[in-house]
């Protein structure tokens, strides 16, 4: 699950949309589009008023010159929605459309939390709310957080969703429960070529997402989604959706550290455009970003993309440049009310004792997790560099960001390029570059197995009586060792990078099982281990140069260089262990 989640992060960090197939059948069975069938499947009150969007009103209001605030949002019950569903039938070779409306239910309560099992490793935002329980004044997880983490949608047949990007620069995943959808992703090639914020904003405006008219001059990519399939899209991805038949879908939003360079750029664009190209609002997203940066300390991961990590720090330190209104945090409101009550009690007690109370300068009340987020962002900035310069603490302010042509690190090397990675001490290798204009197709790993199954250890019984023989062998032992070191008679299966304690342990275990492995180290091997122990496990010590995966063979192509001789050698291995 973790490896699969990391693969997804890598794809989305390059701006790629991911289409997942092979999801296991839902245990709920087949959905029946009737009143009883929907209630039985989802357990949602059928007589509760819900927010729906009327397709006809949506189109006519956009084409109208009169300005009315979202007249296409109509309240109706799920019972009425079901009764008015559109059906398309053929009579005498002609298609006949019947039904009372073409609408979409936008706020159906997701009673079952439909979060995929690997999402705990993929989403860096929402899980942080549940893991960061230490601050004493964090008493709740806001409802808006839960609503953005998991939701349920119903769309009528023939419903068309006009171009938009999802709210608050969140990433999105969608799974089809019943029905079908067709996604059309729009990409203006100028977006990836943007070098400044002004160029980026102008390229985004050229999508003309607020119009219902067809836009020319942009590339489009089409993905069809049916039951048992899932789609993941990175933050700020312009898309439109057609629903040919009544469709129920579930999904949610997420933040990942790896895509924060896109989130940062889109939050600023959203701020400037006053959210006219998006379809919703999750005001708790700023709180989620704070919790995310605080949650990094609890993650075993230590290597992140530099550009994305720097963008995360920038949002945390400058929220007023991304959000027009502060989030109405319920825990903060409670703390302010408690402080006011304490002040009133102190004043009443002073009056009872006949004392005058002195006017005091009131300090701004800030929750502990917010303080921690600011401190963590400043700490990271002290260790993260982007390009040649230290990360600026704020973005350039302009009355109109369309005129902002100052260079910005978020667009360095291309908007979708997030190759430069940062670690507290060192840098490591990077994945292959992508231009953010492709659809990646992945199959869900079989439950109980890794996405790249490890070689069967049952085929490698532990070697016994393996002590070396000291009988005369006329140099055969040296020749055998030479062939083993160069993998003349067998292919290298596992490469272990790092000859410290964490590398020696798996090396010793795999060696005892007869697995062809190589342990490499660029500096001093052992880190406190005895040299005579090392000699049993290492098969040549070299620094790790690069590793790329061949999607067809599943092999990792690795290039190694000998420290002493400078000789380079390339291997195709089944597994690379970073220790």
Is 450 part of a structural domain of the chain?
Answer: no
Last residue of a domain, one of 387, 419, 443: 443
Please enumerate in sequence order all residues whose Cβ is within 8 A of that of 146, keeping only pairs 6 or more positions apart, or say none: none
pLDDT of res. 244: 92
Mean pLDDT across 303-327:
85
pLDDT in tens, 141-187: 788 888 888 888 999 998 998 899 998 999 999 999 999 999 999 98
Is 489 part of a structural domain of the chain?
Answer: yes
* Shared domain check, 432 and 521: no
Q: How far apart are CA 108 and CA 125, in angstroms?
A: 23
pLDDT of res. 471: 55
* Shared domain check, 322 and 436: yes
Is 339 part of a structural domain of the chain?
Answer: no
pLDDT of res. 126: 87
Task: Name which residue leads in pLDDT, 68 or 523.
Answer: 523
Is 393 part of a structural domain of the chain?
Answer: yes
Angle in degrees, CA 174, 175, 180, rounded to 5: 105
pLDDT in tens, 77-121: 888 888 877 665 554 555 545 556 788 998 787 666 667 888 888
pLDDT category at 533 given cuts 50, 70, 90 is: very low
* Shared domain check, 462 and 431: no
The dihedral sign for the CA sequence 305, 311, 312, 314: positive
**Helix or strand holding residue 287 (H, E):** helix 285-295
Ramachandran angles phi, psi of 453, nearest 5°: -55, 135
Mean pLDDT across 199-225:
87
Among candidate residues 347, 303, 182, 298, the one with its CA nearest the CA of residue 249? 182
* Burial (CB count within 10 angstroms: exposed 0-12, middle 13-18, buried 19+), residue 536: exposed
Strand partners, 278: 165
Strand partners, 171: 254
Q: Is 356 helix (H, G, I), strand (E, B) or coil?
A: coil
CB atoms within 10 A of CB 177: 21
Last residue of a domain, one of 443, 470, 488: 443
pLDDT of res. 412: 75
CATH of the domain at 291: 2.60.120.650
* Shared domain check, 574 and 510: yes
Is 96 part of a structural domain of the chain?
Answer: yes
* Shared domain check, 245 and 204: yes
Mean pLDDT across 442-470:
44
Please give the residue range of the domain that contains residue 115: 2-326+369-443
* Shared domain check, 59 and 152: yes
* Shared domain check, 464 and 438: no
Inform me whether the pLDDT recorded for 20 exceeds 50: yes
Inform me whether the pLDDT recorded for 335 exceeds 70: yes
pLDDT category at 336 given cuts 50, 70, 90 is: confident
Inform me whether the pLDDT recorded for 256 exceeds 90: yes
pLDDT of res. 529: 46
pLDDT of res. 68: 59
pLDDT in tens, 424-439: 322 222 233 334 445 5
Query: Number of structural domains, the chain?
Result: 2
Could you tell me the pTM of the whole model? Answer: 0.67
Expressed in angstroms, the distance from the first to the final Cα of the chain is: 19
CATH of the domain at 572: 3.50.50.60
Task: Name which residue leads in pLDDT, 290 or 339.
Answer: 290
Inform me whether the pLDDT recorded for 445 exceeds 60: no
Is 348 part of a structural domain of the chain?
Answer: no
Q: What is the DSSP letter of 73?
A: E
pLDDT of res. 72: 81
Q: How far apart are CA 80 and CA 99, in angstroms?
A: 11
Kindly give the interhelix angle for 368-381 and 306-317, rounded to the nearest 10 degrees. 140
* Shared domain check, 512 and 434: no
* Shared domain check, 98 and 222: yes
Last residue of a domain, one of 414, 443, 472: 443
Q: How far apart are CA 150 and CA 153, in angstroms?
A: 10
Inform me whether the pLDDT recorded for 535 exceeds 70: no
Identify the weakest region by mean pLDDT among 106-120, 207-221, 393-407, 533-547.
533-547
Q: How far apart are CA 58 and CA 68, in angstroms?
A: 11
Identify the weakest region by mean pLDDT among 310-314, 479-483, 566-570.
479-483
Is 332 part of a structural domain of the chain?
Answer: no
* Burial (CB count within 10 angstroms: exposed 0-12, middle 13-18, buried 19+), residue 510: buried
* Shared domain check, 467 and 436: no
- Strand duo 151-155 + 247-254: pairing: antiparallel
CB atoms within 10 A of CB 377: 24
pLDDT category at 474 given cuts 50, 70, 90 is: low
Q: What is the DSSP letter of 196?
A: B
* Shared domain check, 156 and 255: yes
Percent of the chain predicted with pLDDT > 70:
75
pLDDT of res. 19: 92
* Shared domain check, 116 and 28: yes
Is 335 part of a structural domain of the chain?
Answer: no
Mean pLDDT across 213-242:
90
Inform me whether the pLDDT recorded for 344 exceeds 70: yes
Contact 126, 113 (CB under 8 A): no
Q: How far apart are CA 444 and CA 118, in angstroms?
A: 10
Q: What is the mean pLDDT of the chain?
A: 76
Contacts 24+ apart (CB under 8 A), 569-573: 571/487, 571/492, 571/495, 571/518, 572/491, 572/492, 573/492, 573/493, 573/494, 573/495
pLDDT category at 226 given cuts 50, 70, 90 is: very high
């Amino acid at each position: 699950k973790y490896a699969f989640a990391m693969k997804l992060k890598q794809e989305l960090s390059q701006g790629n949309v991911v289409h997942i197939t092979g999801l296991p059948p839902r245990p709920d069975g087949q959905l029946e589009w009737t009143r009883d069938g929907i209630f039985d499947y989802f357990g949602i009150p059928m007589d509760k008023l819900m927010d729906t969007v009327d397709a006809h009103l949506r189109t006519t209001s956009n084409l109208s010159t009169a300005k009315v605030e979202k007249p296409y949002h109509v309240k109706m019950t799920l019972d009425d929605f079901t009764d008015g569903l559109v059906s398309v039938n053929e009579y005498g070779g002609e298609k006949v459309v019947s039904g009372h409306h073409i609408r979409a239910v936008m706020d159906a309560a997701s009673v079952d939390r439909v979060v995929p099992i690997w999402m705990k490793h993929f989403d860096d935002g929402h899980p942080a709310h549940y893991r960061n329980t230490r601050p004493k004044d964090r008493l709740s997880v806001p409802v808006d957080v839960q609503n953005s983490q998991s939701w349920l949608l119903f769309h009528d047949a023939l419903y068309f969703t006009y171009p938009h990007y999802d709210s608050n620069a969140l990433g999105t995943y969608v799974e089809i429960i019943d029905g079908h959808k067709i996604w059309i992703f729009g990409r203006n090639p100028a977006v990836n070529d943007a070098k400044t914020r002004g160029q980026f904003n102008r390229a985004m405006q050229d999508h003309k997402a607020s119009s219902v008219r067809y836009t020319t001059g942009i590339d489009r990519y089409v993905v069809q989604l049916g039951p048992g399939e899932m789609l993941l899209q990175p933050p700020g991805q312009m898309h439109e959706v057609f629903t040919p038949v009544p469709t129920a879908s579930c999904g949610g939003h997420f933040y990942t550290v790896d895509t924060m360079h896109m989130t940062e750029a889109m939050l600023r664009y959203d701020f400037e455009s006053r959210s006219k190209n998006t379809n919703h609002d999750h005001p708790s997203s700023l709180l989620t970003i704070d919790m995310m940066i605080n949650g990094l300390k609890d993650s075993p991961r230590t290597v992140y993309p530099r550009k994305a990590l720097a963008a995360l720090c920038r949002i945390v330190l400058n929220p007023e440049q991304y959000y027009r209104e502060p989030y109405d945090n319920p825990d903060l409101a409670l703390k302010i009310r408690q402080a006011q009550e304490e002040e009133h009690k102190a004043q009443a007690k002073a009056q009872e004792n006949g004392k005058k109370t002195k006017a005091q300068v009131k300090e701004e009340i800030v929750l502990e997790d917010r303080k921690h987020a600011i401190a963590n962002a400043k700490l990271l900035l002290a260790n993260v560099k982007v390009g040649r310069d230290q990360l600026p603490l704020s973005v350039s302010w302009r009355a109109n960001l369309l005129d902002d042509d100052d260079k910005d690190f978020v667009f360095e090397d291309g908007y979708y390029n997030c190759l430069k990675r940062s670690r507290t001490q060192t840098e490591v290798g990077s994945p292959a570059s992508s231009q953010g204009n492709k659809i990646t197709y992945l199959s869900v790993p079989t439950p109980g197995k890794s996405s790249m199954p490890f070689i069967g250890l049952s085929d490698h019984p532990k070697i016994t009586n393996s002590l070396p023989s000291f009988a005369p062998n006329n140099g055969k032992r040296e020749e055998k060792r030479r062939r083993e070191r160069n993998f003349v008679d067998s292919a290298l299966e596992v490469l272990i990078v790092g000859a410290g304690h964490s590398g020696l342990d798996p090396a010793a275990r795999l060696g005892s099982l007869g697995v062809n492995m190589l342990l490499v180290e660029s500096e001093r091997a052992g880190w406190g281990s005895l040299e005579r122990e090392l000699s049993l496990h290492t098969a040549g010590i070299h620094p790790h140069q690069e590793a790329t995966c061949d999607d067809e063979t599943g092999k990792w192509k690795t290039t190694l260089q000998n420290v002493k001789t400078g000789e380079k050698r390339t291997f195709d291995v089944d597994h690379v262990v970073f220790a």
